[in-house]
Structure 1
Amino acid sequence: MHRARAWAQLRALAELLEAPVTTSLEGKSAFPETHPLSLGSGGVAMPRAVFEHVRDADVVFGIGASFTATPFGIRFPTAGKTFVHNTLDPGDLNKNVPTEHALLGDTALALDLLIEAVRERLGGGPRGRAGGVAGRIQEQTKPWLDSWMPYLTSDETPLSPYRVIWDLLHLVDVERTIITHDAGSPRDELSPFWRPVAPHSYLGWGKSTQLGYGLGLAMGAKLARPDRLCVNVWGDAAIGMTGMDLETCARAGIPILSVLFNNFAMAMEDRIMATSRERFGTTDISGDYATTARAFGLHGERVTEPGRIVPALREAIAATEAGTPALVEFVTTREKKYSTFDYASYQG
């Protein structure tokens, strides 16, 4: 979808069909998530509306998507579903989902033709069911979001990473912000709650890319769009992989904002590495990254209290606007909680 730059056509077709829209993590920001027909994005973590619509749909239309099976994407149960698949690559067809209707070709051109055909079938315009669809999405989204508000607004210390994300979301101009997660926990904490409205304003990734990849993405985004606030959200394991390139940001004058969650551990691996952690401390990490950032020439601050989250972010953003890259290190809880759903066992 992003590669075809078919964002306007996607919105036009969704409004014509009055159909709910979800994106993959890589496709996030192709459809504005403030739109009443938006479910949000799918992946390892996702809003409840995404899960329930994917589970209950009898027709799924994949637009500019590969439908590749991956633990980092939406897992589509196929029983009782009809799949319509638009892709440029014939190797994607029937690879992981059974495709009954294949639309092979450029996504923008395919959507142009489809919009014309659907408009003719509908007699010129939609039939007025969008309000009911949007109402169902809201019925799913509100209780889900309400259940997360204790984490999104938590005053506890160590800090909740969700509180940092929530405060950042409500501090910045989302439309003029380009943000990316890192692998692991930052990805699964950020993606369900960040609601992009402009194409290419969320750089989603996953699969086999290494920890620390988000730093380079944010640097590249800033070089391409110097007028935007460019943010990478990462953890202490990720900065351990590529953190020396913060010096590159300072030396080369690339004023990005790095939001670092430091819980002194690769906590996502606590369960599966329990034995090696107990014997060898394999998931434990240490470091004072704000001090390191200042030594490299960045604006750097370590935050341990919830009342300091917004002021620290505001000062860091001001530093980037003045041309200085910034890192704000938030000391966060080791406890992990993700918005995940099990397709096999979930009973609604």
Structure 2
Amino acid sequence: MNGIELIANILKSEGIEWVACYPSNPLIEALAKIDIKVIAFRHERGALMAADGFSRTNDRQKFGVFVMQSAAGAENSMGALAQANADNIPVLVLPGGYTLDRMSVAPNFWASKMYEPVSKYAETIFKVEEIPSIMRRAFHHLRNGRPAPVVVEMPADVCAAQVPTELENSYSFPKQFTSRPTNDAIDAAVAAIQQSKNLLIWSGSGVLMSQATKELQELAELLSAPVYTTMPGKSSFDERHDLSLGAGSTTTTLAAKEFLLKSDTILALGSSLTKTPYSQIIPPGKTIIQNTNNPDSINKDESVDVALVGDTKETITELIIKLKAIYGESKMYDDNVRQEISQYKADMKKEFDPFLNSEEEPISPYRVVKAINETLDLENSIITHDAGAPREQSVAFINATVPHSYIGWGKTTHLGFGLPLIIGAKIANPDKFCLNIMGDGAFGMSGMDFETATRQKIGITTIIYNNGGMATYPVGASNDFPVAREKSGVGVMTGNYANFARTFGGHGIEVTKISELAPALQKAQELNKEGITVIIDIQTSMVSKRGYRA
């Protein structure tokens, strides 16, 4: 057995069922020989993004794995790795490596060294005897502490070497461990909650990752506290609940905006509280209680009054126990909070109804959103957006129900991420209808992986807002580029994406009329069940209307 074969066997013992790849890497053949499915994508970036999507919906119970070649393959993967790292997604990345004598010679790309800033842990295999220990450390880091990418680089000569017989079955499976905040920290948080006059719960992706959505609902109902979810935390709290403020990206709902402004205390659960252009900013003057499993996130972007370092589910459970000792088992039902949230939702609906019910053709993107909310079984669907206008016209408007029914993403928001992401999500959830919404600009970044899904019979649906340009930079806006457009066509895009789908073996549906929206979504669901990949090419208008910002 050589080093590559040992790594393959370790992955098998870890329950890895499939691996995303872009050839070539000797591990690919070794995996196939032991019946681990290998899916070849059309670009390294897309392969890693699909592995990311698989991990996002598995909450550290299963992990996406990505394999690629050294040099150009490792270089091409950098952007997708940075995206996963920014969003705290645990994915295992296994680049091939140069032989040891060439690894540190310029300009050769030493992947594990170059990846250190955009991963949690990166290690090179220098001796074949180290493989069991290195892989144990890798899976330990995937399961424990801050969730993030882990890299193990496989130099060609080291991993081709023979493994000592006594090491062939020496791999030790690392367990998952959780920690909880100290009693003093919990007591401090409870005291701050008691003193608050207007408490708001800020729910991040850590609530999903720790599978704490039921505990979050119990806590919110115990306190009658409104719940705002970050974009990565969207679907951690059912948006049909009368305490839900909805989710936010650059913009958010009216209810979220108003409660973010008026709250005096924010209980942030499972959140790094990272300030990005694609998140709501916490207004000054708040008492902040922050829970995270990464101590480095405390006091990073916000001045934190109480730090609850530990697993989010464990933290919420401890808070509930302490608070019930004070308030009793019955819910602190506050109808005033619920009525206020309901009124804000009604006011927002009134403001956006002209867009959600627009009869204009080309079709308003908001009319598409309305069709999605009304046509799909949202509890049995997984929906994601792409970067730019589709994000801002989806996150605050499409209703998230059960965990991962909507995947919000992006601290750096890589254009084109939605398509490979939804492929990974579909592999993780084969019985769910998986829908990606993207613009024509985003499709240009990753559209060829539609062929990957078609070839592998991964039944996903992609809606493309075909508006002939980049709606993030609408004509006449402050970020428009009118001279560059006139002289060089910058921002102008054309194409028939339904024809593209047919060319690459999928099914293409063209939608030009509002009456065609619901039938198109229904047809896509039927086809996806048969493993047929679908593009719905919708002729849309550029609508500059967005949600709110605190």
* TM-score normalised by L of structure 2: 0.61
* 1:162 is aligned to 2:348: no
Name the amino acid aligned to 1:206. Answer: G
Name the amino acid aligned to 2:218. Answer: A
Q: Distance in 1 between matches of 2:520 and 2:435?
A: 14
8 Å Cα contact 1:45-1:339 kept in structure 2: yes
* Pick aligned residue for 1:132 from 336, 340, 356: 336
Q: Distance in 2 between matches of 1:113 and 1:152?
A: 42
Q: Distance in 2 between matches of 1:319 and 1:337?
A: 33
8 Å Cα contact 1:41-1:50 kept in structure 2: yes
8 Å Cα contact 2:485-2:491 kept in structure 1: yes
8 Å Cα contact 2:221-2:333 kept in structure 1: no
Alignment partner, residue 215 of structure 2:
9
Q: Which runs of 5+ in 2 are unaligned?
A: 1-206
Alignment partner, residue 346 of structure 1:
none
Tell me how large the CA RMSD over aligned residues is.
Answer: 1.2
8 Å Cα contact 2:382-2:407 kept in structure 1: yes
Alignment partner, residue 31 of structure 1:
237
Give per-residue Cα distances to partners, 1:284-317, cap 9 Å, x unaligned.
Answer: 0011110010111111011111111111221122
Give per-residue Cα distances to partners, 1:221-278, cap 9 Å, x unaligned.
Answer: 1111110000000000011111111111111100001111010001212442413223
* Pick aligned residue for 1:180 from 384, 390, 396: 384
8 Å Cα contact 1:273-1:283 kept in structure 2: no
Bigger radius of gyration among the two? 2
Q: Distance in 2 between matches of 1:218 and 1:133?
A: 36
Q: Distance in 1 between matches of 2:245 and 2:310?
A: 26
Q: Which runs of 5+ in 1 are unaligned?
A: 344-348
Q: Distance in 2 between matches of 1:181 and 1:308?
A: 21
Alignment partner, residue 312 of structure 1:
520
Alignment partner, residue 224 of structure 1:
428
Give runs of ≥4 in structure 1 deviating > 3 Å.
none
- Paired-residue identity, %: 38
8 Å Cα contact 1:49-1:141 kept in structure 2: yes
8 Å Cα contact 1:45-1:189 kept in structure 2: no
Q: Distance in 2 between matches of 1:102 and 1:122?
A: 23
* Pick aligned residue for 1:332 from 540, 546, 550: 540
Once the two structures are superposed, the pairs formed by residues 63-82 of structure 1 within 5 Å of their partners are 63-79=269-285, 81-82=286-287
8 Å Cα contact 2:221-2:332 kept in structure 1: no
Alignment partner, residue 87 of structure 1:
292
Q: Distance in 2 between matches of 1:127 and 1:306?
A: 45
* 1:247 is aligned to 2:440: no
* TM-score normalised by L of structure 1: 0.95
* Pick aligned residue for 2:321 from 105, 109, 116: 116
Name the amino acid aligned to 1:62. Answer: A
Helix, strand or coil for the counterpart of 2:305?
Answer: strand
Alignment partner, residue 491 of structure 2:
283
Deviates more, 1:305-314 or 1:65-74: 305-314
8 Å Cα contact 2:356-2:364 kept in structure 1: yes
Q: Which has the higher contact order (CA 8 A, sep 6+)?
A: 1
Helix, strand or coil for the counterpart of 1:140?
Answer: helix
Name the amino acid aligned to 1:262. Answer: N
Give per-residue Cα distances to partners, 1:163-199, cap 9 Å, x unaligned.
Answer: 1111111101000000100000111101111111110
Alpha-carbon spacing, 1:70–1:4, altered in 2? closer, same or farther (3 Å): same
Name the amino acid aligned to 2:307. Answer: A
Helix, strand or coil for the counterpart of 1:60?
Answer: strand
8 Å Cα contact 1:78-1:97 kept in structure 2: no
Helix, strand or coil for the counterpart of 1:320?
Answer: helix
Q: Distance in 1 between matches of 2:418 and 2:333?
A: 42
Alignment partner, residue 49 of structure 1:
255
8 Å Cα contact 1:219-1:254 kept in structure 2: yes
Name the amino acid aligned to 1:216. Answer: P
Name the amino acid aligned to 1:87. Answer: T
